[in-house]
Amino acid sequence: MRTSTVDLVLKNSKIFTYQGIISGGLAVKEGKIHKFLKEPELLRSDKTIDAKGHLLLPGIIDPHVHLRDLQLSYKEDFYTGTCAAATGGITTVLDMPNTIPRTSSLKALREKKREAEKKIVVNVAFYAGFPKDINEVKQIAEQGIAGFKIYPHDPMEEINFQDEKQICAYFRAAAENNLPVLVHPDNLETIKTLQSELEKQKRPDIEVFLGSHPATSEAKAITRYSDLGVKTGCRLHICHVSSSESVVAIKGALEKGARLTCEVTPHHLLLTSEEIRRQGALAKVLPPLRSRDDNVALWAAVLDGVINVIASDHAPHSLSEKEKPFPEAPSGFPGLETLLPLMLTKVARGDLRLEKLVDLTSRSPAKIFKLENKGMLLEGYDADMVLVDLKEKWRISPEKFHSKSKFSPFKNWNVVGKVRMTFIKGVCVMSDEEILVPRGFGKVINVNQ
Ligand code: NCD
Ligand code: ZN
Ligand code: ZN
Ligand code: ZN
């Protein structure tokens, strides 16, 4: 029997669809999922890969990643960061703008894209910061960014977060360009006030850090910005929700009609502030790790659909920076290579349904950030896929990370579920921790709003 030639046949797989798992194969043609096949032998193909009975999922879409590069390339560069993504089963990353230079001008965005195109091995889309000149919002939006990010706790920001009129003007400008605003929910004035109070009381460094970033000010910031979102018609995405108070604030905002989505990280679901006391600055992150009750409230919000996405907030730093005295050490740690195995471990234990996980990490981020033809295994969709062994048990060894940041608060955790292969547009970019494509194989995605 003669059929047209396809580019890849993946055979002997279990394919995840929302209608159930299909046992069989799949053909890829011109980067797209061409057909699901019961009998893949019937198709002529340039290449056949045996999936050895493993599970094929849509590639993970991680909407909160700091790939750094440019002047911060000592922490991470576009190559190492996207190799880490591929190893973690992540086929698309959305990159944050808090770099040097900051991605808050047309010029800085173009420079980042140019550099990325030479180095990336997975798909990358960019966020921008709001530009000093509000008239530049439209031009930046037209470059295909996925959203504007605000850091109200960061004195480097171009906008004045005390000035509500100014914030509203920027929110309106984002809305006019159909772009969401991503919010790091915090407030600089509160941090400064609490910090100086706690320092006066001679509290230990770790307690000063935890006490100056309380859950209440996170929740307050969520309410404040979602109210401004309602007022201006602007869509918001709340980053790294970390506490039960924040979940309450989000429910309140949704009831008031806010167009709002939010994400949670694996570390806020799985770790508590005890980890900072145990591991010191290595586990220092913003928002801080909180309590067991917060973990429980976040899981409940994930399961009942209040939280839409699981994102890594991959925030690499050099080890020498993290080894500085606690107050000077930067916040954040890598997460691209641990997100999927940690969550598959929850699936293996029966705490999370596979279908829910795939929604949180693929379908939902694709929908929120308008990544066309991504996030599901469907005929005609991009063949961005990850092959996982649900049964394999292994131990997290940060020294083996592809990221330049070879540390993790999850070091030595035993996990169940291993990424075997990662495919971008039907090409196997990573197999058993080895990167198989050259630098620059990945594409910068320009999002159509
Ligand atoms: C992030 C970083 O290092 O860029 N750090 C962090 O602790 N999460 C910044 C951020 O996401 O707020
Ligand atoms: Zn943040
Ligand atoms: Zn971040
Ligand atoms: Zn296997």
Q: What is the pTM of this model?
A: 0.97
**Ligand 1 nearest-atom number relative to CA 285:** 7
Under DSSP, the state recorded for 363 is: I
pLDDT > 80? residue 43: no
Question: Mean per-residue pLDDT for 61-89?
Answer: 98
Share above pLDDT 70 across residues of the chain, in percent, rounded to a whole number: 98
Residue 313 in contact with ligand 1 by CB distance below 6 A: yes
Rounded Cα–Cα distance for residues 334 and 316 (Å): 5
Closest residue by Cα to residue 268 from 293, 248, 251, 236: 293
Ligand 3: centre distance to CA 31 (Å): 31
Q: State the ligand closest to the CA atom of 393.
A: 4
Report the first-to-last Cα separation within the chain, whole angstroms: 44
pLDDT > 70? residue 4: no
Chain-wide mean pLDDT for the chain? 96
Share above pLDDT 90 across residues of the chain, in percent, rounded to a whole number: 95
pLDDT per residue over 377-416, tens digit each? Answer: 999 999 999 999 999 999 999 999 999 999 999 999 999 9
The residue with greater pLDDT, 3 or 85, is 85
Q: In the annotation, is 313 catalytic?
A: yes
pLDDT > 80? residue 192: yes
Ligand 4: centre distance to CA 209 (Å): 43
pLDDT score recorded for residue 46: 83
pLDDT > 80? residue 159: yes
pLDDT per residue over 274-326, tens digit each? Answer: 999 999 999 999 999 999 999 999 999 999 999 999 999 999 999 999 999 99
Q: How confident is the model at residue 1 (pLDDT cuts 50, 70, 90)?
A: very low
Q: State the ligand closest to the CA atom of 209.
A: 1
Q: Which domains does the chain possess? A: 5-50 (no CATH), 59-370+392-407 (3.20.20.140)
Return all residues near 189 (Cβ < 8 A) that are at least 6 apart.
162
Rounded to whole angstroms, what are the CA distances from 287 to 210, 212, 228, 273, 422? 9, 10, 22, 11, 30
pLDDT > 80? residue 45: yes
pLDDT score recorded for residue 389: 98
Q: How confident is the model at residue 155 (pLDDT cuts 50, 70, 90)?
A: confident
Q: How confident is the model at residue 39 (pLDDT cuts 50, 70, 90)?
A: confident
Under a CB-based contact definition with an 8 Å cutoff, are residues 33 and 379 in contact?
Answer: yes
Q: How confident is the model at residue 41 (pLDDT cuts 50, 70, 90)?
A: low
Catalytic site residue from 69, 294, 313, 382: 313
Residue 332 in contact with ligand 1 by CB distance below 6 A: yes
pLDDT > 70? residue 184: yes
Mutational test site, ligand 1, from 156, 313, 404, 405, max ligand atoms within 8 Å of CB = 313
**Ligand 1 nearest-atom number relative to CA 151:** 12
Residue 149 in contact with ligand 1 by CB distance below 6 A: no
Ligand 1: centre distance to CA 157 (Å): 14
Residue 286 in contact with ligand 1 by CB distance below 6 A: yes
Residue 120 in contact with ligand 1 by CB distance below 6 A: no
Q: State the ligand closest to the CA atom of 182.
A: 2
Return all residues near 49 (Cβ < 8 A) that are at least 6 apart.
8, 9, 10, 11, 421, 428
pLDDT score recorded for residue 3: 55
| β-bridge partners, 418 | 389
- In three-state secondary structure terms, 187 is coil
**Ligand 1 nearest-atom number relative to CA 64:** 11
Q: How would you classify residue 353: left for phi > 0, otherwise alpha for psi between -120 and 50, otherwise beta?
A: beta
Residue 33 in contact with ligand 1 by CB distance below 6 A: no
Ligand 4: centre distance to CA 56 (Å): 12
pLDDT > 60? residue 156: yes
